[in-house]
Chain A
Amino acid sequence: MTTKRRQATVNRDYTPSNTDDLMIIKPLGAGQEVGRSCHILSYKKKTIMLDCGIHPGLTGFAALPFFDACDPAEIDLLLISHFHLDHIASLPYFMEKTNFKGRVFMTHPTKAIFKSLLSDFVKLSKISTEDMLFDEHDLDNCMERIETMNFHQQIEVNGIKFIPFNAGHVLGAALLEIEIAGVRILYTGDYSREDDRHLMAAEIPPCRPDVLIIESTYGTEVHEPSEEREHRFTSTVDEIVSRGGRCLIPVLALGRAQELLLIIDEYWEVNPRLQSIPIYYASSLANQCMSVYQTYIHMMNRRIQEQFSVSEENPFYFKHIKSLKSLQHFNDSGPAVFFASPGMLQSGTSRKLFDRWCSNPKNGCVICGYCVEGTLAKKLIQVGNVTEITTFEEGMKKPLKMSITEISFSAHADYVQTSTFIEALLPPHIVLVHGEASMMAKLRAALEKTYGDREDVSTTIYTPRNTEAVELYFRGEKKVKVLGTLAQFEPSNDTNVSGILVKKKFNYLLLDSEDLAEYAGLPVTTITQRQVVEYHFPFSVLKIYLAAMFTDLKFNIVSDDARESIQVFDAVTIIKESESMLALEWPANTVNDMIADAVVASIIQIELNPSTAKMIGSSCSHTHRAVPSKTQAPLLHSTCVVESDDARRDKERLRRSLLLLLESQYECVSVGKKEGTAADVIHVDTGTAKAVVFLETLDVECDDQNLARLIKNLCTNVVTSVNLL
């Protein structure tokens, strides 16, 4: 087991040739904290954002994740794990107020709850803060853009594949398995491995991930067994109402509340003596969203599904629970069970009732959820013997006499669940997120202890802070499928394979060009070029001229055509269109284009140099000698006093070609005069050495012998090729 720092140095030592292999995981929120989950994952030029939450303990812009540490325009895909505010609430801001253009996916229930949850959030923030992150209108726009995914459904966006698996926790919560170029990343979001009343335990994905991004909310704590805590819960509630008290259960509007409602409804069902005591649930939000729970039965566990199909009754049509629109409708007389949000007694209905009931020792409060630092609920369970509280609205001091019981129903994984989950997957890299720094450190120490001594696994654990990037290198293994004609024969050692490699969304195919359209859907085009050139001399002249240059000539291959024609190298066909016109026709490719250019050059040369043509035309038997003699002759007659037009043109062409060639080879090339002389030269500066090329003599002056030889070779090549024309 290496620590993070050591791993980082190891990574630095390994300098990958290709930054393409670098994966970056960067929490923009929920790095060594709980709340505002938001992570950036980028690999192979694909960027994904996982979750987009706010910090429940902060307000306004301060509650947002550190969006400025990423470029929203670069993000291809945004995946949401579940509907809690700390995973979803900054989504409308991100989608509407930044230049994010990617696609957004969440599960069906998440989307169905998203709207009501966030309009509720908008209403609350309207009251409390000035800087509104977004409004109803933004929300509606978001709803239009958000796409839905179903569990186990594989979706591919832009080469990124992902599959959501059941995560437990809340309805619609998903573990996200993401695959980019063969590397698998599993993001747990919030998850629970416990099969409860309505949700199934988080699944273990069938494939082993390379990176596991996992929540660490509970660190090394261990939950009490579910039967026990359920029993404790029902008996506590029973006790409070039996002694004639009012039982307040502060809950988050959605999520655990539904589980508790199922438990209580069932308990009331089997205990008729309690049935006279009312159970209230005051949350218009939850009330709105009950239909979501009633609808997405198929995403819950077997138990609920069986209840649904056997009894033909929807278990989410509660028998004993009354929903209350607001406290005004509540007739506070005698014992009652009251579920109210929010879950941490920050404000709202639950706090109002708490303030009202707290001084009666008969009453009781059962705190069931996870409490964030700084909230009253956290204070109550942490300090223990609080005797006095300050009411929220009036600010009065009131004695606290009601009983306070904490029963953790939090659907986050505890240490036992986390370690079995990791044991089942054994990922080489684990990134811890969504946990207080201390919890995270404990979990990390515990995991390091477990896996540090083990020979068979090497696991590295990272605990990045917000905006701190974890850098991992994956040598993405590239596999290529050889298909079609190329694959006709069984592959064996040292066989040559050449063909076209097609790269499509990280998949490689190797194909013959014939099969390109068939297997890769890429059309292949053949281009035919037809060039018309003026030519006034007898066709025979051209024949002779070409025969001197090319070895493979065929004459009059178009049999049904009366026109004369020559074919050069089975590629370029020259047809005599009329007395003054030649047409060249060839299938375009690099080689043929070159041959065609050479042919065209010959034709032009005949046209421009009638004397040669006439000479050849008059004595065709000698032509074979005539042309070679021309090539052998030095092209640059510097000694010639009177240069013929021809010679001057040749010289000019040579210079141009040489300059072009040198320019393409070396960085710094310039034409000029040799210092002190009138000779035309080309200066070449490679950075390390300098050379001077005399254009008249083609001599090279250079300190570096190698360079001199190289340039000299170039010059001779240019001369021969130009002379050829």
Chain B
Amino acid sequence: MTSIIKLQALSGAMDESPPCYVLQVDEVRILLDCGWDEHFDMEIIKELRRHVHTIDAVLLSYPDVSHLGALPFAIGKLGLNCPIYATIPVYKMGQMFMYDLYQSHHNMEDFDLFSLDDVDATFEKIIQLKYNQSVPLKGKGYGLTITPLPAGHMIGGTIWKIMKVGEEDIIYANDFNHKKERHLNGCELEKLQRPSLFIIDAFNATYQQARRRARDEKLMTNILQTLRNNGNVLVAVDTAGRVLELAHMLDQLWRNKESGLLAYSLALLNNVSYNVVEFAKSQIEWMSDKLMRSFEGARNNPFQFKHLQLCHSLLELQKVPSPKVVLASSADMESGFSRELFLQWCSNPSNSIIITSRTSPGTLARDLIDNGGNRQIDLIVKRRVKLEGSELEEYQKNQRDRRDENANKDEESDSDDDIEMSVISKGRHDIVIKQEGKQSGGFFKVTKKQYPIYPFQEEKIKCDEYGEIIRPEDYKLAEVVPEAEDNKENVVIKKEEEDIPEVTEAPSKCIVLSRTVQVNCQVQYIDFEGRSDGESLMKILSQLRPRRVVIVRGSPESTATIQNHCQENIDARVFAPNRGEVVDATTETHIYQVRLTDALVSQLNFQKAKDAEVAWVNAEIVVRKGQLDAKRMNVDNEPMDVDEEDSKILTLEPYPTTIPHETVFVNELKLSEFKQVLAKSNITSEFSGGVLWCCNGTLAIRRVESGRVILEGCISEDYYRVKELLYEQYAVL
């Protein structure tokens, strides 16, 4: 009956490393998040490598690198092969995060930890879900159901609920935000009552947040001051998560005519900015009620920006007139455009740099938060530079040699390519015209597939009563030829456009130099992380009252804070594993299912108690031979519930002899409410020192602690009347 539940933290325990946990429920191992830090720490990978082959499913909570960053490596290089579950926005935006990360690193060094193909392969494995969509796992995980619930923080952000049929509900919640934001709803954790296991991060346990308004104003004044002093503002944000909140907020600010910002420019700079905004536009149903309502009512897409200009390179950014505010990735300033802009702008005191989230220790952004500006910083600068002079010549020579070699080798296959191409473009013609003078290779990326055999496309012949259907267009030779040429031209032109960025990339090398920069500009940290703060965490924990808590990710002090809170206030078993440690959180709940017979139900005397009805049952269990119950089969003819696999069915039948039992009073009394009840029956009562005195002080009702009530008084008729009324407040069983 009882499931074995274990959790091992591969990373993200007792420190601020990214989350990555293995949850084991009986035979099934589920990987909860698979994050990587900004420096691509190989420790995580080492741990992951040991588990990779036992993992049956991966659940992702957020699209950012620290929640799914190691996944392309795990799939591309470690051979992780299992379904991955994520919400649609996590899927879409996660892809953007990884593309941007790859591109940013590729722009400055030879990056080989994973390739874009690995990223694509990873995201192909993702099963896209919606909030509150319950997915029963198959195979080993039979009986387990996973459900994503809204978490706030980032679009599509997920709190995972993992249910074992009827007995266990495990909640995995990290980095959630219970507060409503501009573009997102808050999480609704409080709806989940008493989960049997609650996995929560302690990252913010000791952190206090300024009020949202104060933060917004701080950002606003900083931006205005800097811009008025003719300085530029660099806002370091992530690629596709929190940036949406900031972009939406700033665009709205710009729209406000009185803000005085219209004269300045606003830009979003990352490698995928266009796509991020396009995807955001198509994910309105995942956003806050307010945005949804405005879209439903007036069809204003909130991400149809009016002022925010989308840039993909520094070159494009240069065209945006200064002074300007630039939202650039990445938030850690270890890579990407934010780092490059930092190098360019930091020495000018009129500029300003705003950091919006606390990234891992050791990153440039964190260093700036902790140590502030106005000092010299030694930085390692990595760059990809174009080859020049002798190097370029050498490279070109190499290339030429290689190409000649290839050309000799592939001469025949090359011609195949061309034939195939013309076959495709000509479509239905069986006479192949070989195109001349087109030698592929060199700067152009070869995207065509190469077939080992001569391509042959079989066409299905459609017939009607009169035989094969004749298509007039097959015989319109005169028209087809120019049309084909048209197409060809179009294709070629398009190709050139597409290839431009790749051409600039080709002959280059990566250099590393260390530089000391003087930070003169303003540096400010304004919290736009969108996470619940410490106080709220405690409040949520008290409301939820989980039976067991596993605390992960957070400094030892924060972990201890939550641990104390849980032990003192909610009487839960608490685990705080170290990295690599396995905690055994198995519960001792007992459970089985029986069927109620009508004979029993008709005997019962139900009474109302809160939102439920209760009745005392005195019954016996009878084992009956199960009839073939076709009703509850699903389409695949699999039984719906586990217990129907065995043919014996337990039923509850009335028990002939009554057995005395202790009376149970179900409900909780609120003295203030009881006062009103008394008033209705014309019994006067008043409060004094937490005691409800009735009937001129001859009777007293007190609540000693929750769940204990004392009725005290002289014997009198009133005593019995009050007693009756008091009993009426309960379901008495």
Q: How near does chain A come to B696, taking the closest CB pair, in angstroms?
A: 15
Q: Which residues of A contact B711 (CB under 8 A)?
A: 527-530, 588
Q: Which residues of A contact B669 (CB under 8 A)?
A: 525
Q: Which residues of A contact B640 (CB under 8 A)?
A: 207
| Given contact pairs A204-B635, A493-B621, A516 touches B664 in the complex (Cβ within 8 A) | yes
Bound form: Cα–Cα A8–B572 in Å: 56
| Residue A690 CB within 8 A of the other chain | no
Bound form: Cα–Cα A79–B585 in Å: 42
Most central of A17, A508, A517, A521 by chain B CB within 10 Å: A508
- B614 lies within 8 A of A522 (CB): yes
Q: Which residues of A contact B27 (CB under 8 A)?
A: none
Bound form: Cα–Cα A63–B92 in Å: 45
- B617 lies within 8 A of A499 (CB): yes
- A503 lies within 8 A of B613 (CB): yes
Query: Which B-chain residue is minimally distant from A292 (CB atoms)?
Result: B299
**Please, what's the 1-or-0 string for A410-430, where 1 marks a CB less than 8 Å from any CB in chain B?**
000000000000001100100
| Given contact pairs A494-B622, A497-B621, A527 touches B710 in the complex (Cβ within 8 A) | yes
- B665 lies within 8 A of A500 (CB): no
Out of B1, B301, B652, which one reaches A497, CB within 8 Å? B652
- B616 lies within 8 A of A296 (CB): no
| Given contact pairs A477-B595, A487-B592, A494-B621, A111 touches B296 in the complex (Cβ within 8 A) | yes
Q: Which residues of A contact B598 (CB under 8 A)?
A: 17-18, 475
Q: Which residues of A contact B615 (CB under 8 A)?
A: 500-501, 503
| Residue B567 CB within 8 A of the other chain | no
Q: How near does chain B come to A149, taking the closest CB pair, in angstroms?
A: 9
| Given contact pairs A210-B631, A295-B281, A498-B655, A530 touches B713 in the complex (Cβ within 8 A) | yes
- A308 lies within 8 A of B282 (CB): yes
Q: Which of B233-241, B323-331, B554-562, B603-611 contacts A (4 or more CB under 8 A)?
A: B603-611
- A478 lies within 8 A of B601 (CB): yes
Q: Which of A34-42, A52-60, A152-160, A632-640 contacts B (4 or more CB under 8 A)?
A: A152-160
Q: Which residues of B contact A153 (CB under 8 A)?
A: 130-133
| Residue B41 CB within 8 A of the other chain | no
Q: Could you tell me which residues of chain A, from 605 to 664, have a CB within 8 Å of some CB in chain B?
A: none
Query: Which A-chain residue is minimally distant from B275 (CB atoms)?
Result: A312
Bound form: Cα–Cα A153–B147 in Å: 10
**Please, what's the 1-or-0 string for B326-338, where 1 marks a CB less than 8 Å from any CB in chain A?**
0000000000000
Q: How near does chain B come to A515, taking the closest CB pair, in angstroms?
A: 10
Q: Which residues of B contact A308 (CB under 8 A)?
A: 282
- A590 lies within 8 A of B589 (CB): no
Q: Could you tell me which residues of chain B, from 643 to 691, have a CB within 8 Å of some CB in chain A?
A: 650, 652, 655, 659-669
Interface of A: prevailing SS: mixed
Q: Could you tell me which residues of chain A, from 141 to 156, have a CB within 8 Å of some CB in chain B?
A: 143, 148, 150-155
Bound form: Cα–Cα A502–B611 in Å: 10
| Residue A547 CB within 8 A of the other chain | no
**Please, what's the 1-or-0 string for A308-325, where 1 marks a CB less than 8 Å from any CB in chain B?**
110010100000000000
Q: Interface extent on A, as a size class?
A: 35 or more
Bound form: Cα–Cα A143–B293 in Å: 8
Bound form: Cα–Cα A17–B602 in Å: 10
| Given contact pairs A491-B621, A523-B706, A481 touches B131 in the complex (Cβ within 8 A) | no
Q: How near does chain B come to A416, taking the closest CB pair, in angstroms?
A: 19
Bound form: Cα–Cα A200–B362 in Å: 48
| Given contact pairs A17-B602, A153-B132, A482-B593, A510 touches B282 in the complex (Cβ within 8 A) | no
| Residue B166 CB within 8 A of the other chain | yes
- A481 lies within 8 A of B604 (CB): no
Q: Which residues of A contact B535 (CB under 8 A)?
A: none
Q: Which residues of A contact B307 (CB under 8 A)?
A: none
| Residue A496 CB within 8 A of the other chain | yes
Q: How near does chain B come to A514, taking the closest CB pair, in angstroms?
A: 9
- B621 lies within 8 A of A206 (CB): no
Bound form: Cα–Cα A504–B611 in Å: 7
Q: Which residues of B contact A154 (CB under 8 A)?
A: 132-134
- A272 lies within 8 A of B297 (CB): no
| Given contact pairs A481-B591, A494-B620, A496-B655, A524 touches B297 in the complex (Cβ within 8 A) | no
| Residue B712 CB within 8 A of the other chain | yes
| Residue A288 CB within 8 A of the other chain | yes
- B609 lies within 8 A of A531 (CB): no
Q: Which residues of A contact B296 (CB under 8 A)?
A: 108, 111-112, 114-115, 143, 148
- B634 lies within 8 A of A480 (CB): no
Q: Could you tell me which residues of chain B, from 201 to 241, have a CB within 8 Å of some CB in chain A?
A: none
| Given contact pairs A294-B281, A482-B593, A522-B614, A207 touches B715 in the complex (Cβ within 8 A) | no
- A298 lies within 8 A of B283 (CB): yes
- B708 lies within 8 A of A525 (CB): yes
- A480 lies within 8 A of B595 (CB): yes
| Residue B594 CB within 8 A of the other chain | yes
| Given contact pairs A496-B655, A530-B711, A524 touches B664 in the complex (Cβ within 8 A) | yes
| Residue B730 CB within 8 A of the other chain | yes
Q: How near does chain A come to B580, taking the closest CB pair, in angstroms?
A: 33
| Residue A488 CB within 8 A of the other chain | yes
Bound form: Cα–Cα A523–B609 in Å: 9
| Given contact pairs A499-B617, A502-B614, A530-B710, A207 touches B130 in the complex (Cβ within 8 A) | no
- B730 lies within 8 A of A525 (CB): yes
**Please, what's the 1-or-0 string for A278-315, where 1 marks a CB less than 8 Å from any CB in chain B?**
00000000001101101111100000000011001010
| Given contact pairs A491-B650, A500-B666, A524-B666, A108 touches B284 in the complex (Cβ within 8 A) | yes
Query: Which A-chain residue is minimally distant from B620 (CB atoms)?
Result: A496
Q: How near does chain A come to B128, taking the closest CB pair, in angstroms?
A: 8
| Residue B446 CB within 8 A of the other chain | no
| Residue B517 CB within 8 A of the other chain | no
| Given contact pairs A497-B652, A504-B611, A590-B663, A510 touches B602 in the complex (Cβ within 8 A) | no
- B606 lies within 8 A of A207 (CB): no
- B652 lies within 8 A of A480 (CB): yes
Out of B134, B301, B664, which one reaches A295, CB within 8 Å? B301
Q: Which residues of A contact B131 (CB under 8 A)?
A: 150, 153
Out of A17, A493, A516, A530, which one reaches B622, CB within 8 Å? A493
Q: Which residues of B contact A288 (CB under 8 A)?
A: 299
**Please, what's the 1-or-0 string for A507-543, where 1 marks a CB less than 8 Å from any CB in chain B?**
0101001001110111111111111110000000000
| Residue A688 CB within 8 A of the other chain | no
Bound form: Cα–Cα A516–B662 in Å: 14
Q: How near does chain B come to A293, taking the closest CB pair, in angstroms?
A: 10
Q: Which residues of B contact A450 (CB under 8 A)?
A: none
| Given contact pairs A291-B301, A479-B596, A483-B589, A298 touches B606 in the complex (Cβ within 8 A) | no
Bound form: Cα–Cα A210–B630 in Å: 11
- A528 lies within 8 A of B708 (CB): yes
Q: How near does chain B come to A297, taking the closest CB pair, in angstroms?
A: 5
| Given contact pairs A295-B301, A502-B613, A510-B617, A492 touches B623 in the complex (Cβ within 8 A) | yes
Bound form: Cα–Cα A289–B620 in Å: 62
| Residue A405 CB within 8 A of the other chain | no
Bound form: Cα–Cα A295–B282 in Å: 4
Most central of B590, B633, B727 by chain A CB within 10 Å: B590
Q: Which residues of A contact B659 (CB under 8 A)?
A: 496, 498
A-B contact pairs, 29 of them (CB 8 A): A112-B299, A143-B296, A143-B297, A150-B132, A154-B133, A208-B635, A289-B299, A296-B285, A479-B595, A480-B595, A482-B592, A482-B594, A497-B655, A498-B617, A498-B655, A500-B616, A500-B666, A502-B612, A502-B614, A508-B596, A510-B594, A513-B664, A516-B666, A520-B612, A525-B707, A526-B665, A529-B712, A530-B712, A590-B663
**10 A-B pairs with the lowest CB-CB distances in the bound complex, closest first:** A589-B663, A487-B590, A478-B596, A530-B712, A523-B668, A504-B612, A152-B133, A108-B285, A153-B132, A513-B664
Add 8 more A-B contacts to A492-B621, A525-B707, A528-B711 (CB < 8 A).
A428-B631, A478-B596, A484-B589, A497-B620, A501-B615, A503-B613, A516-B666, A525-B709
* Chain B residues proximal to chain A, CB less than 8 Å: 1, 88, 92, 129-134, 166, 193-194, 274-275, 278, 281-285, 292-293, 295-297, 299, 301, 479, 483, 486, 589-596, 598, 601-602, 604, 606, 609-623, 631, 633-636, 640, 650, 652, 655, 659-669, 706-715, 719, 723, 726-727, 730, 732-733
